Structure 1
Amino acid sequence: MAIVILALSSQAQAVDREATVCGVIKERFCFWQWSRMAPSPDPARVAGLEHVEVTTFVTGDNKRLAGYRYAAYDNLSEKGKPRGYVLMAMGNAMVADMMIQHLGDFAAAGFDTYVFDYRGYGNSQGRRRINAIIEDYKEIVAALNERYPSARLYGTSLGGAVMMNVIGSGVDFDRAVIDASPSRFSPFGCPRRIDPVEHLPDDASRLLVITGQQDSVLNAGMTRELRVEAEKRGATVIDGESYDHPFMDRSEVHRERMERIERFLLAELL
C-alpha cells in the first residue's frame, strides 16, 4: 500500500523555493557534487521488510517527494494507534531506502517512522536547493503534526541543519536529535538566516546534539559551536570520542550511538 501525504493548503504558496541562496554557481555545483555521492534508489533494499510502505509527500509547489514509512507495529496507544511519529532528515549522500531499514526500533516503540528523498535526489522531483529542502521539511512536519499526537525529529549531517531550520520556524515537536550538523553555512556564502546555530531555541532541553571527535566529513571547527551553544541553553550533548560521521562508525560504535539516540527520543517510554 502506498501512502500519499499532501502539504497543508495554508502552506501551498506559489513561491520560488528553488531559488539559489548560497550563490548561483556554488550552490548548484555543491548539490550536483553531493548528489553524485548518493547511490541510486533500489527497492530491493527494503524488499521483504515487514511494516515498511512506500510513501509520497506532495509539497506546496507540487513536487512529489518519494519516501518510506515504517509503520508502528508494537507498543501502540490504548486506542491501538501509533503514539506519534519519527521523521528523519538524512545526510546528503543518502537515499530513503538505505535509511528506513535502520529505523525499525522506532516502529517497534509505537511510532510511525518516515524518511524521504530530498527533492532532486533518488525518486523525488524538483531541483536540489537548500532553501527548497528546508521549506519541504517545514511542510512535512506541519502535515504530520496534523495526523499524530507526538513529534520526534532526527536529523543527520545536512539533515541536522535542515531540522534546526525547521525547529527555528516554530513548529511543535516533543524531542529532536541533531547528529553531526554544521554550525553555520554563512562562511560558505549562504545567508546567516539559514545557519543552524541561529535557530537554537532559548530552551533547548528537548534537543540532543551529537558531534564526533573522529568525524571524517565535518571537522570540529564546523560542528563545535552548535554543540557548545546548545549545551548553554540546556540541551543534552555528546561529543563522542570514537564517533565518526553518522552511519560511518564501526559496527559496535554505530550500535551504541543509535541506542543513545533511541533512548533520548523515546525517553519517557522506556
Structure 2
Amino acid sequence: MFRTLMAIVIVALSSHAHAVDREATLCGPIKERFFFWQWSLAAPNPNPARVAGLAHVEATTFVTGDGKRLVGYRYAAHGNLNEEGQPRGYVLMAMGNAMVADMMIQHLGDFAAAGFDTYVFDYRGYGNSQGRRRINAIIEDYKEIVAALNERYPSARLYGTSLGGAVMMNVIGSGVEFERAVIDASPSRFSPFGCPRRIDPVEHLPEDARRLLVITGQRDSVLSARMTRELRIEAEKRGAEVIDGEDYDHPFMDRAEVHRERMERIEHFLLAEPSL
C-alpha cells in the first residue's frame, strides 16, 4: 500500500512539474514576458462575427497535456474528398503573433475545398485560449496538436507564418510525421535575443528538406532579411523549395494582387501529392 501511495504521489508531482515547466520562460523571465505582452497587444480581440455565416466553418477546441483549453476553428473539407467520402487529410496553420483564429480561418477555404479539414487555433494566452503566453508552451502545444491530428487523418500538411513558422520548424524537428510544410517569413534564430539555441528554427531543418517550401519577402516590413535569410539559404542547400519574393511583405500584409499570387504558390505546393 505504501509503495502504491508513493507511486501515485510521484506521478502527481511529475505531472505538476511538467505543467509548470511548459510555461517556464526560456528567453529570460522579464524579456520573454514583455515581448509576448507587447505582441499580444497588436492582436485583435476575438470576434465570432468574422466567421458568422461562413459555410463549413465550426468552432473547435483542443485540451493540452497540462490541461489548457485552446480555442480555434475547423474549416471542414467539402470538395475533392477521398473514395470513401472522407477528408484527404488535414492542414494545420500556426499563425503570426498578431493574429487570432477567427481572422485567419476565413483565408483558408481553398484547402477545405481541396479535400482537407483545415485547422487554426489561438495560441495559449491569446484570444479565448487559456494559459500563459510562453514560446516553450506554444511549441509543445503544437507538437501535441499534430500528434493528435495524425491519429485521425491519413495525411498532414503544415503551414506556419512568422512566429508560427518558427513554431512549425520546432514541431518538424521533433520528428512528427508530415507530407508537406510551408514556412512563410519565419525568423531563422531566437538565440540572438537570449533564447536557447535548441529552439532556433534553423536548427530543426531536416537533412532532406524536399518536403518544405520556405518563403521570405524582400519587402518584409516586420522581419528583416538578416533575420530570415539563413533559414531560407540553409533550407535550399538541403533540397527545399524556396521563394524570396521581390514584392512580398510580411504574410497577409501584401497588396491584394501580391497576396493572391503568394497564396496560390503556397496552395500549389502544400496540396501537391508528395513524390518522395
Per the normalisation by structure 1, the TM-score is 0.95
Alignment pair present for 1:238 and 2:240: no
Letter matched to residue 80 of structure 2: N
Letter matched to residue 259 of structure 1: E
Aligned partner (choices 195, 203, 219) of residue 190 of structure 1: 195
For 1:246 and 1:260, the matched residues in 2 are separated by 13
Aligned residue for 1:174? Answer: 179
Alignment pair present for 1:135 and 2:122: no
- Unaligned runs of 5+ residues in structure 2 are 1-13
Aligned residue for 2:6? Answer: none
For 1:175 and 1:91, the matched residues in 2 are separated by 19
Greater C-alpha radius of gyration: 2
Q: Shift of the alpha carbon at 1:92? A: 0.1
For 1:241 and 1:263, the matched residues in 2 are separated by 19
Alignment pair present for 1:112 and 2:121: no
3-state DSSP class of the match of 1:41?
A: coil
Aligned partner (choices 44, 48, 67) of residue 49 of structure 2: 44
3-state DSSP class of the match of 1:87?
A: strand
Letter matched to residue 131 of structure 1: N
Q: Shift of the alpha carbon at 1:267? A: 1.5
Aligned partner (choices 42, 52, 58) of residue 53 of structure 1: 58
Post-superposition, which runs of at least 4 consecutive aligned residues in structure 1 deviate over 4 A?
A: none
Q: Shift of the alpha carbon at 1:222? A: 0.1
Letter matched to residue 199 of structure 2: I
For 1:49 and 1:110, the matched residues in 2 are separated by 17
For 2:211 and 2:264, the matched residues in 1 are separated by 17
CA RMSD of aligned residues (A): 1.0
Alignment pair present for 1:20 and 2:25: yes
- Larger fraction in helix: 2
Residues 166-208 of structure 1: CA distance to partner in whole angstroms, max 9, x if unpaired?
0000000000000000000000000000000000000000000
Aligned residue for 1:229? Answer: 234
Percent identity at matched positions? 87
The answer to whether the Cα contact below 8 Å between 1:13 and 1:60 also exists between their aligned partners in 2 is no
Aligned residue for 1:258? Answer: 263
The answer to whether the Cα contact below 8 Å between 1:177 and 1:261 also exists between their aligned partners in 2 is yes
Aligned residue for 1:6? Answer: none
Residues 200-253 of structure 1: CA distance to partner in whole angstroms, max 9, x if unpaired?
000000000000000000000000000000000000000000000000000000
- Unaligned runs of 5+ residues in structure 1 are 1-11
Q: Shift of the alpha carbon at 1:268? A: 2.7
3-state DSSP class of the match of 1:193?
A: helix
The answer to whether the Cα contact below 8 Å between 1:51 and 1:71 also exists between their aligned partners in 2 is yes
